[in-house]
Structure 1
Amino acid sequence: MLVKLKNLDILILFILACFLVISTIVIYSATYGTKYQGLHINNAVMFLVLLIPMLLIACMDYRIIVRHLSWILYGISILLLVYVMFKGMTINGSRRWINLGIMQFQPSELAKVFVILLVAKLLEQRKGDTLHLFKDILPIGLLIAIPFFIVLTQPDLGTSIVFVCIFLGMLWIGNVRISHSIIGLVGLASMIAGITALYFYNFSLFSKIVKPHQLHRIQTFLNPASDPNQSWHVLNSIKAVGTGQFLGEGFKHGKFVQAGFIPYDYADSIFVVIGEEFGFAGSTVLILLYFILIYQLVKIAMDCDDLSGTYVVIGVISMFTLQIFENIAMHTGLMPLTGIALPFISYGGSSLMTNMISIGLVLSIKIHGKKPFLLGD
């Protein structure tokens, strides 16, 4: 085990350490003087505790998990999601959590990783050959559609979109036919065009199909000034990030943040705290760290001699990339507001656990990806 730990990717570990420092500092500022003061300590403790399972997974050959446990883990995730539908906790109109006493666990977070593992197993069976529409793409799409629609009903549009991004990213690397890609793009474009046309030309029907809270988010995204009450969060977020300018207002000096104008500034809206208090410079440092992390993940995927390892890393990259882009974009007015955490920075045990498990799998691929598979290794 010590030999394996010596082969860990030092750059990824350094980036995680940077994320720990940044997250702790920003959560401290966001919760200072509020009833949530002290969450930064909980965040640091969770980060350090979750290093243990991350390192254990890194030392385990990932192929054991992919080839022997992926179906079981996927089944567990679906059972947990179904349980949430009937017995889950409801917070702010969304039923997403299971109360474990010491924490509120969100199964949809863990389901993302388990979906990646199963899709990697199924794609590996093709051994790099071109994917068939009915034998490969549609069955995989159905397996992803199950958690997608369950999570969508919670409702959690942000996490649902992540499943779609994982599906598209892994299929692309899985050697999908160009013709199938074109069909998919045309279908997606047609769906978007149809929804847009319905919004502008038959709004009464559109409002019946879309849930009220989703309709409000779409309207405030297209025209924030149309309903100041509904767009309050988005407008304040944009103003706060703009107020930060180049160097920011300074640590604990964000006017919007400290005045309580940014809801969930310690969780989903934490990028606003960085933008206002540390400005463009601070935001750039964070985005640069994300870029280096993704670049390192791409290198590990390319260096891996095992197809399942490459597929798992690509799934993790797809998950991280979408979440980073979506979180930042929704707080700068580029996308509608959805509930999604900023990886490794937002406060949240379920999200952090998922991210650390994902990194553990990537580190395992870095260690074992060039070795022959031995079940007893």
Structure 2
Amino acid sequence: MIKELVLRAKKIDLIIIALLLCFMAISTIVIYSATNNTKFAGLHVNNLVMFAAMFVPMLVLAMLDYRDIIRHLSLYLYIFGILLLIFVMFKGLNINGSQRWINLHFMQFQPSELVKVFVILLLAKMLEKRKGEYLLLFQDIIPMIVVVGIPFLLVMKQPDMGTSIVFICILIGMLWIGKIRFKHGLIGLLVIIGVIGSIIALYFVDTTLFNKIVKPYQLHRIQTFLNPASDPDQSYQVVNSLRAVSSGELMGEGYLHGKMVQSGYIPYDYADSIYVVIGEEFGFVGSAVLLLLYFFLIYRMIRIAMECEDLAGSYLIIGVISMFTLQIFENIAMHTGLMPLTGIALPFVSYGGSSLLTNMLSMGLVLSVWIHQSKPFHFGNE
């Protein structure tokens, strides 16, 4: 048993470990800058400790066979996750009008983060049953939509639009790699367009019904995104984020010298808005380095998925890639004026125990696929 664990440990992908260490260093350095001389001073130490501690469950998960988790535990984990979301609905901690957290006293735990991983595991199990064949509408696609739809609606109720969108992206990514037929994909696209079009039409036809579907704060965010000048108070964070990132120019204003960040004009700059700190203090070059690290991480995961002989492992990794890609894009886009402002963390960089735990467990599953699979698998040759 010990010999087998040693052999598994030797197969751990050092490229991914090196990238995670880079993210740990960047996160700690930037959080220090964001919290320097504020009431949150010292969070960088907590972040470093948290990051180091999260390597333990990640490595433990990497040693376990992901196939056993997918085939025997995924359904139970999913049910457990849904129960956590229901618990949050009634007993969750309410902060700034959002009821998303469970108070564990030593930390505020956000179950929706962990549920993303549980959804990926269950979808991988459902896709594996098709053995690489085209997905059937009623037997495969609709059940997968239901699996994603339940947590999507529960998280929207909190409300947390940013995380809800991540669930949809995971579904789309895994359906695409799971061989959805073109006609089914087209039907889905038309349904989405129809739903969005109907909601927009309701704005002009039936305001009462529209307000039941789209909450006033959500509409306000969209309006301030389209026209920040319409409400300077509500667009405060967006305008200041754009100003800070643009002032960074090519090389940035220098570490600990970001005027907007150091003056406290960027809310939550140690958490969801941490990209603004990088943009202002390290400029385009610093932002490009960060994006390059994300590119290497995603590219490495794609390589592992392509070299995996087991379909479940490939599906699992695609789900993780979909989750990370959307979160990276969404976080950076909302601080550069490309998307409305939503609450979502920048993977491995933002301060937050729940998001970091989820991300590290996801990487543990990816490492498990690498450790337990080695033969090449090519999509489309089933």
The interval holding the TM-score normalised by the smaller chain is: over 0.9
The answer for the alignment partner of 1:374 in structure 2 is none
Contact 1:71 1:118 in 2 (8 A): yes
Question: Offset at 1:39?
Answer: 0.4
The answer for the alignment partner of 1:103 in structure 2 is 107
Q: In the alignment, is residue 354 of structure 1 matched against residue 358 of structure 2? A: yes
1:18 to 17, 22, 26: 22
Question: Offset at 1:212?
Answer: 1.7
The answer for the alignment partner of 2:256 in structure 1 is 252
Question: Quick one: distance in 2 between partners of 1:106 and 1:277?
Answer: 30
Write the deviation string for residues 154-207 of structure 1: whole angstroms up to 9, x where unpaired: 000000000000011001111111110111112222333333444467667644
Question: Quick one: distance in 1 between partners of 2:300 and 2:252?
Answer: 29
Question: Quick one: distance in 2 between partners of 1:195 and 1:232?
Answer: 27
Secondary structure at the counterpart of residue 225 of structure 2: helix
Q: Once structures 1 and 2 are overlaid, which stretch shifts more, 4-13 or 90-99?
A: 4-13
Secondary structure at the counterpart of residue 112 of structure 2: helix
Q: One-letter code of the match for 1:293?
A: L
2:221 to 217, 220, 224: 217
Secondary structure at the counterpart of residue 90 of structure 1: strand
Count of matched residue pairs: 371
Question: Quick one: distance in 2 between partners of 1:254 and 1:149?
Answer: 39
Question: Quick one: distance in 1 between partners of 2:7 and 2:15?
Answer: 18
Question: Quick one: distance in 2 between partners of 1:205 and 1:148?
Answer: 21
Q: In the alignment, is residue 279 of structure 1 matched against residue 270 of structure 2? A: no
Secondary structure at the counterpart of residue 69 of structure 1: helix
Question: Offset at 1:71?
Answer: 0.8
Against the structure 1 CA distance between its residues 47 and 287, is the aligned structure 2 distance closer, same or farther, given a 3 Å change threshold? Answer: same
1:3 to 7, 10, 13: 7
Q: In the alignment, is residue 146 of structure 1 matched against residue 150 of structure 2? A: yes
The answer for the alignment partner of 1:193 in structure 2 is 197
Question: Quick one: distance in 1 between partners of 2:134 and 2:103?
Answer: 44
Write the deviation string for residues 85-139 of structure 1: whole angstroms up to 9, x where unpaired: 0111000000000011111100000000000000100110111111111111111
Write the deviation string for residues 254-310 of structure 1: whole angstroms up to 9, x where unpaired: 111111111100000000000001000000000000011111111111110001000
Q: In the alignment, is residue 268 of structure 1 matched against residue 272 of structure 2? A: yes
Which consecutive residues of structure 1, in runs of 5 or more, have no partner in the other structure? 372-377
1:165 to 155, 159, 169: 169
The answer for the alignment partner of 2:323 in structure 1 is 319
Q: In the alignment, is residue 364 of structure 1 matched against residue 331 of structure 2? A: no
Q: One-letter code of the match for 1:117?
A: L
1:135 to 129, 135, 139: 139
Question: Quick one: distance in 1 between partners of 2:363 and 2:353?
Answer: 15
Write the deviation string for residues 18-67 of structure 1: whole angstroms up to 9, x where unpaired: 10000000000000000100000000101000101101111111011001
Contact 1:306 1:370 in 2 (8 A): no
Secondary structure at the counterpart of residue 99 of structure 2: strand
The answer for the alignment partner of 1:34 in structure 2 is 38
Q: In the alignment, is residue 231 of structure 1 matched against residue 235 of structure 2? A: yes
Q: Once structures 1 and 2 are overlaid, which stretch shifts more, 57-66 or 2-11?
A: 2-11
Question: Quick one: distance in 2 between partners of 1:322 and 1:134?
Answer: 27
Against the structure 1 CA distance between its residues 327 and 200, is the aligned structure 2 distance closer, same or farther, given a 3 Å change threshold? Answer: farther
Question: Quick one: distance in 2 between partners of 1:205 and 1:155?
Answer: 18
Question: Quick one: distance in 1 between partners of 2:212 and 2:60?
Answer: 49
TM-score by length of 1: 0.96
Question: Quick one: distance in 1 between partners of 2:298 and 2:163?
Answer: 20
Write the deviation string for residues 233-266 of structure 1: whole angstroms up to 9, x where unpaired: 1000011000100011111111111111111000
Question: Quick one: distance in 2 between partners of 1:109 and 1:39?
Answer: 21
The answer for the alignment partner of 2:50 in structure 1 is 46
Contact 1:263 1:269 in 2 (8 A): yes
Which consecutive residues of structure 2, in runs of 5 or more, have no partner in the other structure? 376-382
Q: One-letter code of the match for 1:158?
A: G
1:339 to 336, 343, 346: 343
Question: Quick one: distance in 2 between partners of 1:145 and 1:205?
Answer: 21
TM-score by length of 2: 0.95
Contact 1:241 1:272 in 2 (8 A): yes
Question: Offset at 1:3?
Answer: 1.4
The answer for the alignment partner of 2:308 in structure 1 is 304
Q: One-letter code of the match for 1:97?
A: W
